[in-house]
Amino acid sequence: MNSPSSGTKDSTAVIECQNLERRFGGLVAVTGIDLQVARGEIFGLVGPNGSGKTTLVNAITGFYPPQRGRILLNGSDITGMPPHKVARLKVARTFQNLALFNGMSALDNILLGRHIYLNPGVIKTALYWWMSQKEEIAHRQVVEEVIEFLQLQAVRDDPVETLSIGLKKRVELARALVAEPNFLILDEPMAGMNQEEKEYMARFVLDARDERGITVLLIEHHMDVVLGICDRIMALNYGEVIGTGLPRDVVANPRVIEAYLGKASQHAA
């Protein structure tokens, strides 16, 4: 697994969160979050289960708007914008739990990622050969290129429920990539994978950044992956930031070690 390349990013913030807070009733899920992800960066988000990582990305993508703070995308305020409008701003994501459609092929699942570019209508449907065929061919070309990029040719026609967890995760990544995002959020893309599958996925994430110019926000529990491909990381615990910076510095932070291991385990070590 190659180390991250700092030469591919610049100082322009693609996403910026300012003093973000999200509550569910009396439960504070995240609070006081200040986050900046630079263009061309792979930024890791780490922390124990329940620390607020997924809540934070749900706030960014409009699923659970924050009650306090602002979210800026390329300098424009998107706080409270609904998910479909955020997606049209070239923000794509994968989910912690697989969100594929069983009974459909890998190809059909990937094609669904093009939905934000579709403009169906009665007239276009009636005049398909004249108005829509060229558009469909263009969508297919994008999908075929991503299938080749992620090396999914051999399983393109297989029902997704028959695929291994590693291939299912790759199909979900493909569905996100065909949306042609500038900013990609990956929520535990390597959960449940073996070592070989993790290495493949890490390589694809790096290639998405290096070859496609995509900025990545990565939620991941596998610290070998985080250390191997992330430029910077932020650690959360109980909804608060407990460390931000270079990966090796953050994972060596006593507060981060305590959050993962607990005081008793840390002292025993």
* Strand partners of residue 15: 37, 73
Q: Is 5 exposed, middle or buried (0-12, 13-18, 19+ CB in 10 A)?
A: middle
The CA distance from 36 to 47, in Å, is 17
The CA distance from 154 to 16, in Å, is 39
Distances (CA, A) of 211 to 112, 152, 206, 207, 228: 23, 18, 8, 5, 18
Backbone angles phi, psi at 265, to 5 degrees: -65, -40
pLDDT of 99: 81
Contact at 8 Å (CB) between 167 and 155?
yes
Domain extent listing, the chain:
1-90+181-269, 105-180
Contact at 8 Å (CB) between 102 and 161?
yes
pLDDT of 149: 97
pLDDT of 125: 53
pLDDT of 56: 96
pLDDT of 98: 80
What three-state secondary structure class fits 9?
coil
Secondary structure of 211-263 in the HEC alphabet? HHCCEEEEECCCHHHHHHHCCEEEEEECCEEEEEECHHHHHCCHHHHHHHHHH
The CA distance from 227 to 211, in Å, is 21
pLDDT of 115: 83
pLDDT of 266: 42
pLDDT of 121: 53
Return the CATH architecture of domain 1-90+181-269: 3-Layer(aba) Sandwich (3.40)
**DSSP secondary structure code for residue 48 in this structure:** S
Dig out the tokens for 4 from the structure. Answer: 């991250």
pLDDT of 268: 35
Query: Furthest-apart CA pair in the chain: how many Å?
Result: 72
Element (H, E) at 82: none
Distances (CA, A) of 24 to 46, 52, 59, 95, 218: 21, 12, 12, 20, 24
pLDDT of 4: 53
What three-state secondary structure class fits 31?
strand
In a structure prediction context, what are the per-residue pLDDT tens digits for the chain, which is 269 residues long? Answer: 544 544 445 668 999 999 999 999 999 999 999 999 999 999 999 999 999 999 999 999 999 999 999 999 999 999 999 999 999 999 999 988 888 999 999 999 999 999 887 665 555 555 555 556 677 788 889 999 999 999 999 999 999 999 999 999 999 999 999 999 999 999 999 988 999 999 999 999 999 999 999 999 999 989 999 999 999 999 999 999 999 999 999 999 999 999 887 754 443 33
Distances (CA, A) of 112 to 99, 103, 177, 207, 228: 12, 14, 11, 22, 31
Dig out the tokens for 189 from the structure. Answer: 């893309």
Please count the CA atoms within 13 angstroms of the CA of 18 that sit on its side-chain side: 11
